[in-house]
Structure 1
Amino acid sequence: MRWHSENRRTPGVLCHPSDGEAWKHFDRTYPDFASEPRNIHFGLCADGFTRHSVAAAPYSCWPVFLTPYNLPPEMCVVTYDVSTKSNFNMRASLMWTINDFPAYGMLSGWMTAGKLACPHCMENSKAFTLKHGHKNSWKMKQAFRKNKTENDPPPRTLSVEEIWGRVCHLPKVTEVAPYRLHGYGVEHNWTKQSIFWELPDVKGKTKDNPKARLDLKEYYKRPELNLQDRLPKRIWKPITEISLFFKYLCSNTLTVENLQRMEQNMPVITTKLEKIFPCGFFDVMEHLPIHLVQEARLGGPVKTRWMYPFERTIGKCKKLAKQRSKIERSICEAYLAKETTHFCSYYFGEQVSCMRNRPNHNDKGGVDPNYPPMSIFNQPGRGEHSQFVKDIALGPGNEVKTMKKCIINGYKFQTEEVSHYKKTNNSGVCIKGDADGSGVTVDYYGVLQEIIQLKYPGYPKKTITLFRCKWFDPCQRGKRVNRQHNVIEVKHTRQYNLYDPFIIAQNAKQVYYAPYPLHRDKVDWWVVIKTKPVGSIEVDNALDMAYKNDVPVVHQTVDTKL
């Protein structure tokens, strides 16, 4: 519980919520609370779902989850501290809520619909209703909007006192029946006072349609987009820039310097997108990325505040509902039974298989803590060192096991043969190595051809998993890097000319390759997209020096050419 206080990061680096400005501001405001690092900082998540997956049902269930942020990122309360053998008075604070955008509007009191949907811009939003599409569209720049020049600065961020001054007189839903407040939708979007002030895409739909093209003609100086068959071809650059923006934003580690550059780049990227897509596309969800950098600066890395883990947990809760007439009670009883059995499992011996010692489904096989994590013989039950060395010296046995699928280090690998006809391709492999003997490490990219498992004699059982790969040429003729967009390309028609196909499976990382479908001059090139392991967090330590968690480099400004 003291991890966040005893493991301070370098100034300007954000890899935990305690590095964010909101946490630091809370500590400055309440020094008595901050003086005890074991006091808990919570994040609250709530989201609703309808019973039995009936979308039109008037009744919905809203589970509430509390997440403690004191623990280190790779871990996930009692008032007795075992490490110091002392008691202390534990206190708790709620740092923020975690919701999707519609649920945010229901919990905060600021409705996220209409022209004033943005909770940052509030009444300063310049959204307008399209004449033909009848949708709300957010403001466009002077090069795109007809007869309109935009020179105003961004809206000012309100302080906590100013926001409280606006909501302190609003009614609470717990005290009065809901009703429409005066000025709603014109002067404000407040619907209630949130209780947190006083705490102890659909398939088959498109925004590009004939009405959208009529709105383009009505509002914007872009005749080449008016009711034509297709969009311009050269749209990959802003699409790439917005993709990299979210990639950097979702990194495990953020820096203040990168966040400042991203904040400068985002308005330029939005302007370039406005030159491409119809105005009906720009609803509040396309407007919100402008404010995401500020939220990351306040709350730290996005991974600690997004909805993905809670959505998965809510999905599991729905499966626990066996009694359809009393869904909440059914979920609570099933969850308590699960927690009780998990707690009781701590009294079992290690030889008893239970939820506590069950291997993660993303990393099959047992793990012996006596071995380093990257050891190729990380199997339970290590014998004497001398006998162990003798068994290895005898070499592997004559029997070889081949596989087409393998789950290791949180990655699910499949051979090229298995992945060929699938939508998801898991055969891409990346490993670091020395290119020319100079000591400079480079990334080797290839495709997995075969998975081989070797067995060594003796006890305990010792196995090694090898990957036989087809490697692409790592030199400039076979690999190139776009420094501006940090895009790596490999020429899949040019293979590595040396015979060195085998690697140890535990040293491999997974990548996948994306082709250029509309560029004939790039038909031989694939874009490399690196993935992250499931069920584990990459950290920097002496045992994993080859794969450090690199902090992304954000360019000062994106290409401003529109």
Structure 2
Amino acid sequence: MWYAPIIPRLKHLFRNKEHAKLLRWHMEERKKDAMLRHPADGRQWRNIGREFPDFAGEARNLYFGLSTDGMNPFGEQSCSHSTWPVTLCIYNLPPWLCMKRKFIVMPVFIQGPEQPCNDIDVYLRPLVDELLELWAKPGVRVWDEHTEQEFDLRALLFVTINDWPALSNISGQTNKGYNACTHCLDETEGKYLGKSKKVVYPYNRRFLPRKHPLRKKGKHFDGEADNRPKHVPRSGGDIFDMVKDLNVIFGKGPGSRPVPKDADGHAPMWKKKSIFWELEYWKVLEVRSAIDVMHLTKNLCVNILGFLGVYGKTKDTPEAREDQKQHKGRNGLGELSRLIIRRLPGQRS
């Protein structure tokens, strides 16, 4: 891998008078009303201010967003080469500058040909060491060209943003099986479809408002109403208690599996204790790992259009119809399934 330290890059940013002024924008020039226009308008930013007032009181202290994913630098579809760049964006800046190339730092570049998977923590070690240095008091001495004086710079990692597989590698939580939800964790309710050979999560009516009509309708939900209260997410301290004793051996070979499967043969919920738990503030963050908007909207639209049968692969397969027959309480679908199941596998209903 290649590593480029971030502290010298930050010092160069503050050496530029214009850039040094922009890095104070989130506190001094941001419009403060009830609208969400910037991460500083969100609850997580305010929580950090309450927990660490000395950090939040300095406008020049930095908030980072980390993102990483695999890419094929050779542009060949038949090649399985996977190179992983790790980038940092700075949320102190105005929203129209946060994602500009000149303000994005790429400290880590993990060369292929294979993706790092669970071992990505080994490559992130020098970056985390610098984040620890930037968090510890008094910080790093930096010259501010805007005010023409030195100050002690500190920084924190605000959130990580990845697609679904990379989020699993970063956070250490498995992204498949019965405990795949990053919100519900071990309270995730899944159901295995024998014909389709996948786990689905159909028991989500508890997140609807208490008086929502779908909560009372049992016709399409195994004949039962759902009056359970909304799930309360776990605190960072509770999640840390789950992972703090995991013994992880990085690399391949004997002993590399962090925890064995449970008595039912299900995959473990946690693959490792993420290296980011070494950061003191990681327990305070409500959202530590997030899914990027591009993948979320694209996959959501493709799946909806797939259900409608107007784009992509149809979801109405013979295997899905067989699973539907076995799902009780769906009136009229059993007879319909017996009719549709006779169609050819590639034919849409």
Q: Retained in 2: the 8 A contact 1:123–1:188? A: no
Q: Could you state the TM-score of these two structures normalised by the residue count of structure 2? A: 0.58
Say if 2:166 is the partner of 1:90: no
Report Cα offsets for 1:312-337 as digits up to 9, x if no partner.
xxxxxxxxxxxxxxxxxxxxxxxxxx
Tell me the equivalent position of 2:91: 69
Does structure 1 conserve the Cα–Cα contact (< 8 Å) formed by 2:64 and 2:91? Answer: yes
Shift of 1:175: 8.9
| Amino-acid identity (%) | 36
Q: Deviations over 1:183-223 (max 9, x none)?
A: 55748510001111115969853321111112112104142
Equivalent residue number for residue 119 of structure 1: 182
In structure 2, the CA distance between the partners of 1:95 and 1:20, relative to structure 1 (3 Å rule), is same
Bigger helix share: 2
User: Could you say if the C-alpha distance between residues 11 and 219 of structure 1 is closer, same or farther in structure 2, counting changes exceeding 3 Å?
Assistant: same
Between Structure 1 and Structure 2, whose CA radius of gyration is higher?
A: 1
The question of 1:223 aligning with 2:320 is answered no
Partner in structure 1 of residue 108 of structure 2: none
CA deviation string 1:366-408 (max 9, x = no partner) = xxxxxxxxxxxxxxxxxxxxxxxxxxxxxxxxxxxxxxxxxxx
Cross-structure match for 2:5: none
Per the TM alignment, residue 81 of structure 1 is displaced from its structure 2 partner at its CA by 2.6
Does the CA contact (< 8 Å) of 1:216 and 1:222 recur in 2? Answer: no
When structure 1 is superposed on structure 2, of 72-81 and 208-217 the one drifting more is 72-81
- Separation of aligned partners in 2, 1:45 and 1:80: 28
Contact persistence 1:172–1:195 (CA under 8 A): no
Matched letter for residue 146 of structure 1? D
Q: Tell me, which stretches of 5 or more residues in structure 1 are unaligned?
A: 230-562
Query: In the alignment, which residue of structure 2 is the partner of 1:102?
Result: 165
Bigger relative contact order, structure 1 or 2 (CA pairs below 8 A, ≥6 apart): 2
* Runs of at least 4 residues off by over 6 Å: none
Structure-2 change in CA distance of 1:227 and 1:49 (3 Å):
farther
**Alpha-carbon distance change, 21 to 127 in structure 1, aligned in 2, over 3 angstroms:** same
Structural mapping, 1:309-388, within 5 Å: none
Match of 1:182 in 2: 260
Q: Which of 189, 195, 200 is 1:132 aligned to?
A: 195
Q: Tell me, what secondary structure is at the counterpart of 2:152?
A: coil
Question: Residues 102 and 112 of structure 1 are in contact (CA less than 8 Å); yes or no, is this contact kept in structure 2?
Answer: yes
Kept in 2: contact 1:122–1:188 (CA 8 A): no
1:63 counterpart SS class:
strand
1:211 is matched with: 319
| Structure-2 change in CA distance of 1:51 and 1:219 (3 Å) | same
Q: Against the structure 1 CA distance between its residues 155 and 7, is the aligned structure 2 distance closer, same or farther, given a 3 Å change threshold?
A: same
> Equivalent residue of 1:88, what SS?
strand
CA contact (8 A) 1:43 1:94 kept: yes
Q: Secondary structure at the match of 1:179?
A: coil
Residue aligned with 1:150, SS: coil
The one-letter amino acid paired with 1:161 is G
Aligned to 1:167: 243
C-alpha distance in structure 1 between counterparts of 2:331 and 2:31, whole Å: 49
Q: Deviations over 1:502-543 (max 9, x none)?
A: xxxxxxxxxxxxxxxxxxxxxxxxxxxxxxxxxxxxxxxxxx
**How far, CA to CA, are the matches of 1:131 and 1:84 in structure 2?**
66
Question: How far, CA to CA, are the matches of 2:179 and 2:63 in structure 1?
Answer: 31
Instruction: State the distance in 1 between where 2:260 and 2:185 align.
Output: 16
C-alpha contact 1:172 1:194 (8 A) present in aligned 2: no
What SS does structure 2 have at the residue aligned with 1:87?
strand
Q: Equivalent of 2:65, from 27, 43, 52? A: 43
